[in-house]
Structure 1
C-alpha cells in the first residue's frame, strides 16, 4: 500500500534496517534500497516513496542535501534521519528541512518503534488528506464542467438578453464575449449491434480531439455538451485567431479515426444572437447525407440555397399504397418504396431535407387516414417520431429511411387484417414475435425502445402491455429469456461458465451470476453441478 525507501551506504546496516522493523505489518508493500544520497535521489524521482529513512553522512550526496532536493518534489513524503552523530547542528538543520523524526544509532527498539509508528501515522494522515483534497478538487472540476455544459446547452437552445448573456459568462467563467463563434454538430446514427457505450466512447474521443487541438491553437476555445446521440461543440476565437485552421486540423484527425459519425458545420458568426442559428444550420446540414452517399462532413456555408425539388405522391401512387397496405402486400409496398428512393436519387442535386420531410409526411398522412378510417387503435402503432424531424434523424441513408417506412406500412396492413376482436390472440402474437427476435439476437443489448422501434409500437404502450398482459415488466421478460437460454448453454460441458454470460447478452459476469441466481435460485456453477448430479 505504501512505499518505503531506506538510504544507507553501509550494506550490512541497510540489510539490518530492513529486518529490524516489520515493515509489511506497518503497511509498506514496496521497499527500495539506496546506497548513497545520489542513488536515492535518482530512484526517488522514479518510485516516489511515501517514507524515506536515511543516514546523514554518505558519499556523493549526504542525507540532509537529499532531503533538501526532494522536499519540494515529494511534499507529502515523511523524512526520518538516522545517524550515529548526536549533534545539535544536524538536528537543527533537519528540523528546518521539515524532517519528521531524528533517530540515533544504535537504535533502541521500543523507543525507535514508537517513533516509526508516530511517523507512519502522520504519513497515512497526509496521504488521506491529499486524497481527500484531490477528490474535492475533482468534484469541483466536474461540477464546474457540468455547469458549463448546461450553460452552453442553454445558450445554443434559447434566446438571452445581452445582460443575461454577460451575467452567465461571468458566473461560469466562460470567455465568450466579443468573439467569433462557430457551432459544429456530430450525430451518431444507431446501427444493429451497437450499444449506448459505443456512442459514449465516441463522444469522449471527440471531446479529447478538440481539446488536444487547442494545444496548437491556444487562442481558440471549445465548449461542448451531448444530448441523446448528438454532440454539440461551440468554438470561439478572437479576431486574429485562425479558427478555420483549428477546425480543419481537428476534423482531419477525427476523419482519420474513422468514427461512424456525421458532422454538420454551421456558419461562423460574430454576434451571440446568431449562435442559435449557426447550430440549427449545422443540424440541418447533416440531413443532406440522404443526397450525398458516403459523405460524412457537411458544411452549411457550402450547401447551395436550392428551393428544393417538389417531391409528390401522385393520386395513382396513393391508390397503390392504400391497396398494398389493405392487403398487407409486403412485395408491393417494397416496390413502391423503391420507386420513391429512385425519385429522390434522380433529383438529389436539387433535393433538400425540408422537401424530403414534406414528402415523407404526405406518405405518413395517407397511412394515418387509412388507420382512422378503419378504426385501428393508433396508440398501438409506434408514432412518437412520425410527425417530427426525428423521422429523418434516426436513419443514415435514404434506403434505411424508406425501408423503415415500408415496414411501418406493412405492419399497419397486418394489424388491419388481424381480427380486431381477438385482442388476446394479437397480444400473444406480438409477445411471441418479440421473444423470437430476442432469441435471434440474444448476445446483443436490446432495449425496450429498440423493440418498440422494430415492431412499430409506442414504447409507453408496449411497456404497459407487458405489465397488464404478462404481469411483468420488459426487463423481467428479457431476463427470463436470456436465463432460459443460459440454462441450455450450461448443458453443454464444452462451454465454460464464463463464456455463457456474453453468449446470453451479459457482458458483466457479476451481473450474469446475480440475475441467474435471482431467477433460478442457483449460481450458474451450482446449476451445472446439479445437472451433473441428476444426469
Structure 2
C-alpha cells in the first residue's frame, strides 16, 4: 500500500483532500500533511512517503524549493504539484525538477485518485524493472546459495524471471573439475572450457535443474522436488550419468553433495554442506596423493590400521574405553618412522576421515576448516608413538563433545513432543501443524529435528503410540475393533485394521485371539504416512 503525504498552506484544502478520499479502499495510506515545506521535511524523513502532493506557493519554503530538496535527498519519492497558478513558468520549473504530474486547483477527488493510480503504477513498473535488471538466474541462484536473499524477494525475483523454482525440498550439488594427474596443478583454460562444454551439453538434457557457474572450474546445481527421497534419487542418477561421461582434457569430475532441506532458505544450508564436502574431498585427495608419494620409501603395506573399527568407536565408544582402544588400534603405528612425511600424511588422512564422519553423524555446525588447520599443526608436532596415542585420544574427546551437543541440544523439545502425542493420540485431527503450534516452533523445524534426533518421523512415533495403546486394549478390554480404533485416533476401522496388520503382522482379532506378547512396534516400520 503506497503512502501519500500532502503539503498545502490552506487548511481547508488539506482537510478536504484528506476527508474526501477513502484512502484504504483506494489502496493508499494517508501518512500526514503539513502547511509548508519546512515543516514537511521532518515528516517526510519519518514517514518516507511514496508519493508527495504539494502546493507551489507557500510561506517559509515553497513547493518548488521543497521539490528540489526532496529530489536530492529522497530520489525515490514521486511528486505531484497541485497549484492554483496557471503559469507556464511554474509548470516548466516543476517538470525540470522531475515531478510526476502538475495540475491546477481545484481538483476533484476522482481526478486526484486517477493521478495517484497512474503514479502508483509507475512506481510498480520501476520496481519491477529494477528487480529484473538486478537479478539474473545465475545471480538469484548464487544469492540463495550464499544466504543473501530472503524468501519473499527470491519468490518475486523468480516470478519476474519466469523461473519455475518453487518446491517443498531442495538440495545442492557442486561439480568441480580437477587435474587427473596429481602433479599437474595448472590446467589450461582451453581444457577447462572444453570440459565445461561437455558438462553443459549433458546438463541441458535435465531442464528442471537450476545451474550456475561459480568459477572457471566449478558448476553449482540446485535440485528441487516434492519429496526428499525423490531429490536424493535424482542426485544419485545425475552423478552416475556424469561419472559415466568420458571427461578427457587432463581433468576428472568430482561431485560434492549437500543434504536435502525444506523451503528456499534450506538451499543455503545444503550449499554449506556441499561446500564442506567439497573441501573435505579436496583435502583428502591432496593428502592421499602426498601419502602415496611419501610411502614409496616407507613400506606402507606393513602399517595396518582398522579404520572402520575406529569410525565405529567414534560413534559408540566411551571416555573410559578410549585409552585401551587406541592402544590396540595403534599397534601397527609402532613401525612408523615419525620423522618421515609418510607419518604426517597417514595421521592426517585418518584425522580427515574422523572429522568428516563426526560432522555428518553428529550434525555439528563447527567450522571444519579451522579445526583441521589446528589439528594439522598438532600432527606436525608428533615425534613418537606415545604422542600419537595422546593425539587420537584428545581428538576423540573433542569430537565426542559434538556427539554430546547433538544429543542434548533438542532433548527437552523431543520430550515435549512425545508427551503431547501421548496425551493427545486419541484425537484423529492431531497433526504436525497442531503439534508444532502447541510446542511453539515451526512445523518444518520440528519435523526435521524430530526425525534427526529420534531416527523416525513424527508420524511413525504417533502410529507406534496408537498401535501400542490398541494392543493394550485388545488384551485387557472387550471393546470391539471399531471402538478401539476410535479411541486411539482412527475414525476409519478398515484403515486401522490394515495399519495394525502392517505393523504387527496380524489383524486386531488375530492379535486378541493369540494374546501375542511380543512388541513389534519397537521395530516400527520406516516410511509411514505423513502426519
Alignment TM-score > 0.5, same fold: no
How does the TM-score come out when normalised to structure 1? 0.41
TM-score, length of structure 2 as denominator length: 0.41
